[in-house]
Structure formats: C-alpha cells, structure tokens
C-alpha cells in the first residue's frame, strides 16, 4: 500500500485528547468510514472481530452509564467544543450568488 492511497482515504481534523487539541483523521473510505482515528493507517487495517463483538456486548451492558458520563464530560468545558468546531471548518467558504433572470 502506498502513502498516497492512505492519504486519499482520510481527512485531517482537530479533536480533543484530555485537555489538549490534537490532530486526528476521519476515515472517508473503507471498513471504518466515518470513524475518527489517531493514525491514518488504521482506516485500512483489517477489523478485529473479537474486539468488535466485545465492544457491542459492553455497549449493551453499559450504554446508559456511558451516556451519563458523556453528558457530564461535554458539559464540563463547552468553550473547547466551540474552539474545535471553528478549527474543523473549511478554510475558505465560497459565497456563490445566483443572478436572477
């Protein structure tokens, strides 16, 4: 696999890791399409079925607890969420105006 192929399958984004803003990748193709990962190579790596089944089981058992913890975390520092939203916007927004005929 070439580096160019890996780069085409991801787009760089900013994310939070603890109290820092870090670079991560959103997979645009492959088995992990839509997922945010730390390394670009992860998007094309084969899936681990054992891990997948284990996580599904955990979500069934602990889904409600995860929801409460997530709500608490996101409520804690809304300023950082606003900052990340601004960082992840496209650099240039083209304003196209249509002429009325």
Q: Tell me how far apart the alpha carbons of residues 72 and 65 are, in angstroms, rounded to a whole number.
A: 11
**pLDDT exceeds 80 at position 60:** yes
Mean pLDDT, residues 31-50: 90
**pLDDT exceeds 70 at position 3:** no
**pLDDT exceeds 80 at position 73:** no
Nearest Cα neighbor of 42 from 54, 33, 55 is 33
pLDDT digits (tens, 9 = 90+) for 78-99: 666 778 888 888 777 666 666 6
53 burial via Cβ count (<10 Å: 0-12, 13-18, 19+): exposed
pLDDT of residue 24: 93
What pTM, to 2 d.p., does this model score?
Answer: 0.60
């Amino acid at each position: 696999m070439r580096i160019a192929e890996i780069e085409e399958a991801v787009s760089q984004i900013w994310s939070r890791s603890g109290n820092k803003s870090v670079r991560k990748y959103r997979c645009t193709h492959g088995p992990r399409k839509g997922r945010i990962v730390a390394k670009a190579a992860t998007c094309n790596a084969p899936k681990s079925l054992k891990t997948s089944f284990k996580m599904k089981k955990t979500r069934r058992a602990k889904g409600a607890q995860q929801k409460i913890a997530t709500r608490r975390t996101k409520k804690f520092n809304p300023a950082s969420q606003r900052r990340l939203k601004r960082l992840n916007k496209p650099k240039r927004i083209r304003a196209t105006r249509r002429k009325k005929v």
